[in-house]
């Protein structure tokens, strides 16, 4: 029988690595949003990914959003 022990150091390293990755991703998105706001606001990463997601959304979901949310349909679909 093999016993596997996870030490406190391993858990701490893993947690720190995960938090570092999240912080780096947040920083990258923040910088990208700020740069796009200065250069071309309609080309921000969040808008681009949201637009791509909307383009791939089934017609029934789009129709539901347009019918229920009116002019705010794109905002709802991007969430």
Distance separating alpha carbons of residues 10 and 72, to the nearest angstrom: 46
pTM: 0.55
pLDDT digits (tens, 9 = 90+) for 39-71: 887 788 888 888 888 888 899 888 888 888 887
> Integer distance in angstroms from the first to the last C-alpha of the chain?
49
Q: Where are the chain's structural domains?
A: 1-40, 44-79
pLDDT digits (tens, 9 = 90+) for 22-35: 999 999 999 999 99
User: Which tokens go with 38?
Assistant: 């200065």
Distance separating alpha carbons of residues 76 and 68, to the nearest angstrom: 10
């Amino acid at each position: 029988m093999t016993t596997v022990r996870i030490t406190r150091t391993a858990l701490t390293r893993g947690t720190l690595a995960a938090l570092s990755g999240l912080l780096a991703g947040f920083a990258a998105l923040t910088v990208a949003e700020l740069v796009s706001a200065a250069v071309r606001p309609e080309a921000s990463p969040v808008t681009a990914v949201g637009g791509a997601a909307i383009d791939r959304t089934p017609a029934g979901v789009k129709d539901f959003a347009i019918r229920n949310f009116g002019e705010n349909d794109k905002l709802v679909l991007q969430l």
